[in-house]
Each structure stands twice: as structure tokens, then as C-alpha cells.
Amino acid sequence: MKTAAVFVHGLFLNGAEFTLLRRRLAAAHGIATHRFSYSTVFGSLEPTLAALERFVARIDADRIHFIAHSLGGIVLHRYFEREAQPDPRAGRVIMLGSPVGGSRSARAVLGNALLRRVVGRIVAQELLDSAAERRWTNTRELGLIAGTRPMGLGRFFARFDEQCDGTVAVSETKLPGHKDHVTLPVSHMGMLMSPVVARHVGEFLERGIFTRA
């Protein structure tokens, strides 16, 4: 059976930052990986979702998993929310440091007119007013990974009174309806290079649950 995984990146990125994680998953689990790239600053949500739908339709695989980092998790949530009918190739979904429960960093940035233009429309649309509405209602099993090493740009814009990865707080990564959630000692960007995160991602894609040491 051919198994593939689609990677969806976060703000100001293009997916190249997934390279090490993709290689580890391919080597350890034989997964064919595909990088979906979109404009996080100049793009808007609807054209991005339509492009992702076309991208997924072209993949030759019997099962397709999805892995998102940061803002990419917001994109994936909306993508599956609008799915008309289940894809028979449906696999599991993992979100890494995605602020699906809201983002105090984003709210602080969006309060500045100049910075609001810099971060783009998707952030403004999805992280200012919409977070309270989110639930995971898709039949795919969803795994959430949060970091607890506070090293990230978010600390310059917001004060965190709980564990965070430097950009997103642990509570902000939780989405009602998820299958499993785990916290790991990694930063917001460091989680993409972490072998521990890669192992947890592989476990969830295979078994639908994270293993606790």
C-alpha cells in the first residue's frame, strides 16, 4: 500500500523547513512526502484551500496523512471543515505548535496597524476572531504536539503565564475533538528538527496515539 504525507507550513515559511522531518519519516516509515506551499502574507484563505484540494487530488497514494506546523494547522482545520465528502484515502492528521485555540501573540501583533499588514490576511482572518469557534469534527484522527521550550519571537509581543514554545502556549494548541495531545521540550521552530518529535509523529501516523516514556 502506498502511503503519503502532505506537509503544510506556517507563517513566512515555504515548507523547506520540513526537510529533515520528511527525510526521517521516509527513512523510518517508508512514507512518500509532499510539500504544499502557499503565500502566507499575500494570499487569502479560500484560494489557498482550493489549491490544497487540487494538490492532494494529484497525489498517487492509497493513504494520505497530513502534517502541519503553526499557521498550517489553521489552514488544515479549515480544509477539513469544508470537505464535502470523506476521501477514501484518508489518513491521520498531526499539528505541530498550531494555535488552533487562539494566539495571544497574534492578537498582540494584529493590534498594530503596520504589523497587521506584514503578517497578512490569513492570520488576520483566522487568529483574531475565529479561534473560539473551532472544533475538530472530521473523522480523521487528530494528534497535537506542543512545545515547552520558550524560545521564539512570540515572547517579544505577548506575555505567557503558562508553558509555551516561545510563540504558542500549550493551551492554544488544544482543539476539542482531537484524538491525542502531547507536550515535548522543544521550541516553536526547533520541533521541526527534533528527532523526538519525528519519532512521535511516526508513532501517531502508524498507531493513532502518542507513546509516553
The pLDDT score that the predictor gives to residue 174 is 95
Within the chain, what is the greatest distance between any pair of CA atoms?
A: 50
What digits encode the pLDDT tens for the residues 187-201? 999 999 999 999 999
At the top level of CATH, the class of 3-207 is alpha beta
What digits encode the pLDDT tens for the residues 75-115? 999 999 988 777 889 899 999 999 999 887 777 766 666 66
User: Has residue 154 got a pLDDT over 60?
Assistant: no
Rounded Cα distance, 35 and 208, in Å: 22
Average pLDDT on 9-14 reads 93
Collapsing DSSP to helix, strand or coil, 141 comes out as coil
User: Has residue 29 got a pLDDT over 70?
Assistant: yes
What pTM did the predictor assign?
0.92
Tell me the residue length of the chain. 213
Beta-carbon contacts of 196 under 8 Å, excluding residues fewer than 6 positions away, are 184, 186
Rounded Cα distance, 96 and 100, in Å: 10
Edge-to-edge order in the sheet of strand 180-184 = 32-36, 3-8, 63-69, 90-96, 142-147, 180-184
The three cell numbers locating residue 122 = 490569513
Domain residue ranges in the chain: 3-207
Mean pLDDT (the chain, rounded): 90
